Amino acid sequence: MERSPRPGFWKGRCVLVTGATGVVGAWLVKSLVAGGARVVALVRDADPQSELYRSGVIARVSVVNGALEHFGTVERALNEHEVDTVFHLGAQTLVPTAYRYPLPTLEANIRGTYHVLEACRLHGQLVRRVVVASSDKAYGEHAGLPYTEDMELRGRHPYEVSKTCADLIAQAYYHTYRLPVAIVRCGNVYGGGDLNWSRLVPGVIRAFLRGERPVIRSDGTYVRDYTYVKDAVRAYLRVAECLEDDGVRGEAFNFSGEAPVTVLRLTELLQELMGCRHLVPDVRATAAAEIRHQQLSTAKAREVLGWRPAHTLEGGLRETIAWYRAFLEDHGS
């Protein structure tokens, strides 16, 4: 059985969220604010279409403008706001973007991570818990699946390597300095608020709503584990709330919906849910630097944290479709 949320845990706590304008970050901030936390959001670029802004929650948080690559900005956010908890989600998250020009991805994902962790170490008298967003991409290519947390991290291409490095750096700060940190490795996160249209779920949904054929960058046979954004938020909160428990501090945890499917099967499911069987996908097979088959075991999260996904893949997709339908109607797209 999943543990009940710890009543009042977030009330009055000051929480820094990096990557607050991203899809997971925005929903996480909304949940923290609803729980009574005082949230500080590190924002590089203000995006009015981000769920953080569209929902109006931005008016209820403190904003520190700046980039993870600037240590002084990160340190100031922690010190001046007397931050108790850090959720480090800030990153460049698009594989094709990293492939075309890796330098900004390596700077944001690697330098940004050690800046956050070093600032937390420096202000250890303030910071009581740190949760770092890694990814299933950190594992790289493995013949034996599903991924378990004790597997070697061996990213090979720029985005994977950036997540492998960030993950290992977080582990180093725990083992060397006993920084109270834990690591979250999610499967592909989907849900309302993701406006990176090159990603599969938002891209396919938008195409169907426009009456167009969706473009598939890969050959359609790549297998992925998907995590609904609301389940991802529950995962981050659960890890942070349990960081003082045995077997959590210094550990990594996998989270997913545990329903791996091929790209084409996910597209077919969206066709069925949206009544768009007549719109046949345009399969380009041009994807580069992508892992072909990924699948996560969440056994550790179930056993140690009592976490399990609350949404099926179909249920999460139904909510996601409804979000994009309303969003695109509002924007006339």
CATH number, domain at 22?
3.40.50.720
Distance CA 24, CA 89 (A): 8
Q: Is 181 domain-assigned?
A: yes
Give me the pLDDT at residue 246, please.
84
Q: Is 219 domain-assigned?
A: no
Q: Is 281 domain-assigned?
A: no
Distance CA 27, CA 193 (A): 8
Give me the pLDDT at residue 99, please.
95
**Long-range Cβ pairs for the range 97-105 (8 Å, 24+):** 98/157, 98/158, 98/159, 98/162, 98/289, 99/157, 99/158, 99/159, 99/288, 99/289, 102/158, 105/158, 105/159, 105/162
Q: Is 75 domain-assigned?
A: yes
Give me the pLDDT at residue 330, please.
84
- Of 142, 159, 161, 160, nearest to 151 (Cα)? 142
For 155, the domain range is 14-188+228-256+295-310
Distance CA 51, CA 57 (A): 8
Whether cis (ω within 30° of 0) applies to the bond prior to 48 is: no
Q: Is 27 domain-assigned?
A: yes
Handedness of CA 245, 247, 250, 253 (dihedral sign): negative
Distance CA 239, CA 221 (A): 33
CA distances from 77 to 118, 174, 182 (A): 13, 21, 21
Give me the pLDDT at residue 24, please.
97
Q: Give the chain's residues under pLDDT 50.
A: 1-4
Distance CA 191, CA 80 (A): 33
- The secondary structure of residue 147, as a DSSP letter, is B
Q: Is 263 domain-assigned?
A: no
Please tell me the pTM assigned to this model.
0.96
Which of the residues are catalytic?
159
Q: Is 268 domain-assigned?
A: no
Give me the pLDDT at residue 331, please.
78
Q: Is 79 domain-assigned?
A: yes
How many structural domains are present in the chain?
1
CA distances from 253 to 88, 149, 238, 246, 297 (A): 15, 6, 11, 14, 9
